[in-house]
């Protein structure tokens, strides 16, 4: 009994295949018409696909393929890749498509650092120390730190000196 594997949070097999499109300089309409619709046409009628949804944005897009629960996700990943490869042509300048199985991330522990009158930079340094300590532990696969703004550098120049110089 003591050697049986158990899990408080059971892992569920992913049933999502994600297709990522990167096309620098393209409008959402160009992404939609030049890439997304072509892929969606090839996915139509593919056995085992429950639903296909897509989002087109400036410079990129994504297509989400939801696979029926009883289907083997690895086989369906191959089927989706084959469907994408059957598209006769994509616009020039587009980066290679990425077709991947969406892995589910299971959050096990969440905690927050806070303190009265402690600068944000100090809290961030402490968070990095805690992150390094946790990474050193065996069995830890992923750590994410959030809640801090991106660091910025401000350069102030007097306009008069720029005009003279």
Instruction: Give me the residue spans of the domains in the chain.
Output: 16-101
For 10-34, b/e burial (b = at least 16 CB within 10 A) is eeeeebebbbebbbeebeeebbbeb
Structurally, what CATH architecture does the domain formed by 16-101 represent?
Answer: 2-Layer Sandwich (3.30)
**Per-10-residue mean pLDDT for the chain, 165 residues long?**
55 82 94 94 91 94 93 92 92 92 74 86 89 85 80 87 78
Residue 11 Cα to chain centre, angstroms: 19
Write down the pLDDT at residue 86.
92
Predicted confidence at residue 26, as pLDDT, reads: 93
Q: What pLDDT was estimated at residue 17?
A: 94
pTM of the model: 0.60
Q: How far, rounded to the nearest angstrom, does the alpha carbon of residue 156 sit from its chain's CA centroid?
A: 36
Per-residue confidence (pLDDT) for residue 5, from 0 to 100: 55
Instruction: Report CA-CA distances (Å) from 83 to 33, 46, 54, 78, 143.
Output: 17, 8, 16, 9, 35
CB 20 within 8 A of CB 97: yes
Phi and psi torsions of 43, nearest 5°: -85, -20
CA distances from 42 to 33, 47, 52, 87 (A): 14, 12, 11, 7
């Amino acid at each position: 009994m003591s050697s049986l594997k158990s899990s408080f949070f059971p892992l569920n097999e992913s049933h999502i295949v994600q297709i990522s499109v990167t096309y620098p300089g393209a409008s959402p309409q160009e992404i939609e018409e030049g890439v997304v619709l072509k892929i969606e046409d090839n996915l139509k009628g593919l056995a085992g696909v429950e639903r296909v949804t897509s989002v087109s944005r400036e410079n990129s897009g994504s297509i989400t393929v939801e696979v029926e629960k009883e289907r083997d996700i690895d086989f369906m990943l191959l089927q989706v890749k084959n469907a994408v490869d059957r598209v006769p042509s994509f616009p020039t300048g587009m980066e290679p498509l990425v077709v991947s199985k969406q892995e589910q991330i299971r959050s096990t522990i969440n905690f927050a650092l806070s303190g009265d009158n402690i600068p944000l930079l100090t809290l961030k340094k402490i968070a990095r120390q805690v992150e390094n300590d946790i990474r050193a532990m065996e069995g830890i696969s992923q750590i994410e730190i959030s809640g801090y703004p991106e660091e910025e550098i401000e350069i102030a120049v007097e306009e008069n000196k720029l005009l003279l110089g």
